[in-house]
Amino acid sequence: MVPKKAAIVEHTAERLGIEMSQVVCVGDGANDLPMMALADLGVAYHAKPIVQARADAAINVTGLEGTLYALGYPALAPTE
């Protein structure tokens, strides 16, 4: 049986018509590992040590927008 989060990722990619090689998953706990394993890039976000050890990358010093920045998106402009 596929864990729920992994099934959601697969279903969403299929619905959007994208390959799993285009998917990035972000997680912080061991329950996220199956989902992250499906994606081309698994990012540990302020995660537990086991997740950081198994992830492709880890973010520990910024907010979630740091994931977008690491993927090459420009910094978000502040809102007024």
Tell me the average pLDDT across 48-54. 96
What does each C-alpha distance from 47 to 25, 34, 66, 79 come to in angstroms?
Answer: 13, 15, 14, 29
Q: What is the CATH number of the domain that holds 47?
A: 3.40.50.1000
Separation CA 69–CA 76 (nearest Å) = 9
Q: Are 71 and 44 in contact (CB under 8 A)?
A: no
With 60 as the cut, is the pLDDT of residue 80 above it?
A: no
Indicate the pTM of the whole model. 0.85
pLDDT at 57: 94
DSSP letter (8 states) at residue 21: G
pLDDT at 11: 97
Domain extent, residue 20, equals: 4-70
Residue 33 covered by a domain? yes
Separation CA 78–CA 34 (nearest Å) = 35
With 60 as the cut, is the pLDDT of residue 61 above it?
A: yes
The two structure tokens encoding residue 71: 């993927």
